[in-house]
Amino acid sequence: MAPRLKVFEWSDGFHRFTVAASSRPKALAAWGIQQDIFASGLAKEAPESEDAEAARARSGEVVERGLAIDIGKTGPRTARVKARKGPTAAEKRRAQRLADELEALEQAYAASTEALRAETGRLEAQASQEKARFDKTRAKLAGDLKRASEKL
């Protein structure tokens, strides 16, 4: 009894290879492939393939069919840049909020700087008064010491 033939095929993208064989290992041998491309899904059983009748007529021989490939336009592909119509409402609100925060920060800095300048002026005036009081007291004590030393 002759072995029951099955039709198997696989494609490399440019050609379709069809063979009629009794098993997957025999189909792989006919194609000259040692890796099990059935496991990866690259090859499959195709009893209703276009070339099934031709493969059955020539059992064990590979029927090769060229595939028409439409590669479209040739040349480098450029990514499309999506045209923006303008900022969204959320972007506008965020920009306004940030501008308001910046203005508030600048005003707070100006106010604190002015307060520090006023405090510095007050402290300098107080230091000047302390220096004048010190100089006056020192001069009086130095004069008193000198007069006391003369009497000795």
Q: In three state form, how does the secondary structure of 51-98 look?
A: CHHHHHHCCCCCEEEECCCCCCCCCCCCCCCCCCCCCCHHHHHHHHHH
pTM above 0.85, yes or no: no
Hunting for tokens 């005036």 — which residue is that? Answer: 125
What is the mean pLDDT of each successive set of 10 residues along the chain, which is 152 residues long?
82 90 92 91 88 88 81 65 82 95 96 95 94 95 92 83
Q: How does pLDDT run across 75-113, given as a tens digit for each residue?
A: 666 677 777 788 899 999 999 999 999 999 999 999 999
pLDDT score recorded for residue 7: 93
pLDDT score recorded for residue 65: 87
pLDDT score recorded for residue 71: 62
Side chain identity, residue 6: K
pLDDT score recorded for residue 73: 61
- In angstroms, rounded to a whole number, what is the distance separating the alpha carbons of residues 18 and 31? 9
**Cα separations in angstroms, 86 against 1, 89, 90, 116:** 78, 9, 12, 44
